[in-house]
A = this chain, B = another copy of it.
Amino acid sequence: MPRIPRGFRDFPPPVMILRKEVLSKIEEIYKRFGFDPLETPVLEYWETVKGKLGEEAETKLMFIFPDFLSKEWYTLRYELTFPLARFVAMHPELPLPFKRYHIGRVWRHEEPQRGRYREFWQCDADVVGSSYPEADAEVIELNVEVFRAFNFQDFVVRLNDRRLLTGIFEEELGIRNPVPVYRTIDKLDKIGEDGVRAELLAKGMHEGVVDRIMGIISVKGSPKEVLEEASRIKNEKVSSGVDHLTQVVEMVEGPIQVDLSLVRGLEYYTGPVFETVIKEPKIGSVAGGGRYDRLIALYSDRDVPATGVSIGVERLIDAGLELGIFNLEKKSYVQVYVISMKRESWPYALRVARKLRKEGIYVAVDLMRRSFRSQKEHAKKLGVKVLAFIGPKEVEGERVTLYREDGTRVEVTLSELTSKVKELL
């Protein structure tokens, strides 16, 4: 038996039919918000990416390999933001803001488990060129609209700003190496306040500092209240973060929670960061994003601000399936199965199939010279709604007998065929 690469998946028709429906709905919302499509290669030169995505990504997660024919080192794209940055750097002529969406797959060397794959899909939308809160607000609201469109009920956007983290932890609390502290804070949801406190103390931090950290990250309340609380810290970075977030919060219609414990992994964020979390099932964040004003400058001599969101398709679909929002019941697009009762009726059956196809109906016809009964069975396996029977009588009278799964039966002429089929579907 052949093997499929570990962590990779085939998507058979019922899964693809659902995925296509979900992705096209997301795409439609991206278009409504004025985003346009961009596609980039699945491979990038490793030199283009090196040093930009952080140590963990580059040593443990990325597919990096030599190609013997071209004698180059490539990487399979790890996410969709750095190819955008490369593209923008290579196209200084682009009118700004450049608003692009990109729905595509990315690859990571995760240990495969439920909801984690080595090949998975992301839906990204980014605004390149604007440093204003309007842009952050737009991608956050876009992301909210996606969850609304699928009727997810209990979701919340957790919002923070990198400048709050830097201003508070690095400048005010004087933590020289904040990354381990951020890692611990990031676990607040998982291990709770006591867990965070214990872990910070175990890392050798002073109790006074830990107390202050706990005070900061446990501030709860409306976005306004949390931002007011944060604004008491007199620090330039904190102030600019508070000011920016205050405007963002005003501009978005949606369930936002300002959460000073939100860290997010990727190294390149410079301003607002956010995550969208579904409360049930507890599947982690389903979407996330933020502002990265210095990534594009790594590729060019221009400083181009940018902000964006990435929606994780696998988690969105897994959560939706668990909540009963999605299902895998549709097995096939086929709407009508044309059944030829005898081999001699086949040319007429093909004529009927052609007519329906021309008028936009999805039609299958027997390709196996099967018995009448086997054709019916196959149609049933596909879940086809309407059967079009062609027997000698139908051939002679240039008619078709239509059956619907619920027993409805109607005989029609060729000219009535399509409209009647549409009624029955």
Chain A residues close to B by CB (< 8 Å)? 1-6, 8-13, 16-17, 19-20, 31-45, 47-48, 60, 63-70, 72, 74, 76, 83, 86-87, 89-91, 94-97, 99-100, 105, 109, 119, 127, 129-130, 132, 134-135, 138, 145, 251, 253, 299-300, 332-334, 346, 350, 354, 357, 360-369, 378, 381-382
Which residues of B lie under 8 Å from residue A378 when comparing CB positions?
95, 97
C-alpha spacing A33/B358, complex, angstroms: 10
**Given A89-B1, A109-B70, CB of A16 within 8 Å of CB of B34:** no
- 14 A–B contacts from the bound complex (CB under 8 Å): A3-B45, A4-B45, A5-B44, A10-B41, A10-B83, A31-B362, A32-B363, A34-B333, A34-B365, A42-B105, A43-B76, A63-B69, A65-B68, A138-B365
Decide if A87 touches B357 in the complex (CB within 8 Å): no
Please provide the 5 A-B residue pairs with the shortest distance between their CB atoms, ordered closest to farther: A34-B364, A13-B36, A8-B41, A16-B37, A11-B39
Instruction: Beyond A2-B299, A10-B87, list 8 extra A-B contacts (CB 8 Å).
Output: A1-B90, A6-B70, A10-B40, A13-B37, A13-B100, A32-B360, A42-B76, A132-B369
Decide if A5 touches B41 in the complex (CB within 8 Å): yes
C-alpha spacing A361/B367, complex, angstroms: 43
C-alpha spacing A37/B96, complex, angstroms: 37
**Beta-carbon nearest neighbor of A105 in chain B:** B42
**Beta-carbon nearest neighbor of A44 in chain B:** B5
Which residues of B lie under 8 Å from residue A364 when comparing CB positions?
34, 99
Decide if A367 touches B37 in the complex (CB within 8 Å): no
**Beta-carbon nearest neighbor of A62 in chain B:** B69
The winner among A66, A91, A253, A367 for most chain B CB atoms within 10 A is A367
Which residues of B lie under 8 Å from residue A129 when comparing CB positions?
368
**Beta-carbon nearest neighbor of A33 in chain B:** B357
Copies of this protein in the complex: 2
Question: When the two chains form the complex, which single residue of B37, B68, B367 contacts A134, counting CB atoms closer than 8 Å?
Answer: B367
The winner among A37, A299, A357, A381 for most chain B CB atoms within 10 A is A37
C-alpha spacing A100/B347, complex, angstroms: 24
Question: When the two chains form the complex, which single residue of B5, B9, B332, B346 contacts A72, counting CB atoms closer than 8 Å?
Answer: B5
| Min distance, Cβ A97 to any Cβ of chain B, angstroms | 5
Decide if A333 touches B36 in the complex (CB within 8 Å): yes
C-alpha spacing A130/B130, complex, angstroms: 57
C-alpha spacing A45/B31, complex, angstroms: 37
Decide if B74 touches A5 in the complex (CB within 8 Å): yes
| Min distance, Cβ A375 to any Cβ of chain B, angstroms | 11
| Min distance, Cβ A372 to any Cβ of chain B, angstroms | 16
The winner among A9, A16, A363 for most chain B CB atoms within 10 A is A16
Question: When the two chains form the complex, which single residue of B10, B39, B97, B360 contacts A367, counting CB atoms closer than 8 Å?
Answer: B97
C-alpha spacing A17/B251, complex, angstroms: 30
| Min distance, Cβ A33 to any Cβ of chain B, angstroms | 6
**Given A74-B5, A132-B369, CB of A362 within 8 Å of CB of B34:** yes
Decide if A334 touches B251 in the complex (CB within 8 Å): no
Decide if A134 touches B369 in the complex (CB within 8 Å): yes
Which residues of B lie under 8 Å from residue A74 when comparing CB positions?
5, 65
C-alpha spacing A290/B1, complex, angstroms: 25
Decide if A12 touches B31 in the complex (CB within 8 Å): no
C-alpha spacing A95/B332, complex, angstroms: 12
Which residues of B lie under 8 Å from residue A38 when comparing CB positions?
10-13, 16
C-alpha spacing A94/B381, complex, angstroms: 10
Question: When the two chains form the complex, which single residue of B10, B48, B333, B381 contacts A39, counting CB atoms closer than 8 Å?
Answer: B10
Question: When the two chains form the complex, which single residue of B13, B43, B66 contacts A5, counting CB atoms closer than 8 Å?
Answer: B43
**Beta-carbon nearest neighbor of A24 in chain B:** B24
Decide if B48 touches A367 in the complex (CB within 8 Å): no
**Beta-carbon nearest neighbor of A363 in chain B:** B34
C-alpha spacing A99/B332, complex, angstroms: 10
| Min distance, Cβ A171 to any Cβ of chain B, angstroms | 29
Which residues of B lie under 8 Å from residue A43 when comparing CB positions?
5, 8, 76, 119
C-alpha spacing A94/B42, complex, angstroms: 31
**Given A9-B41, A357-B32, CB of A366 within 8 Å of CB of B1:** no
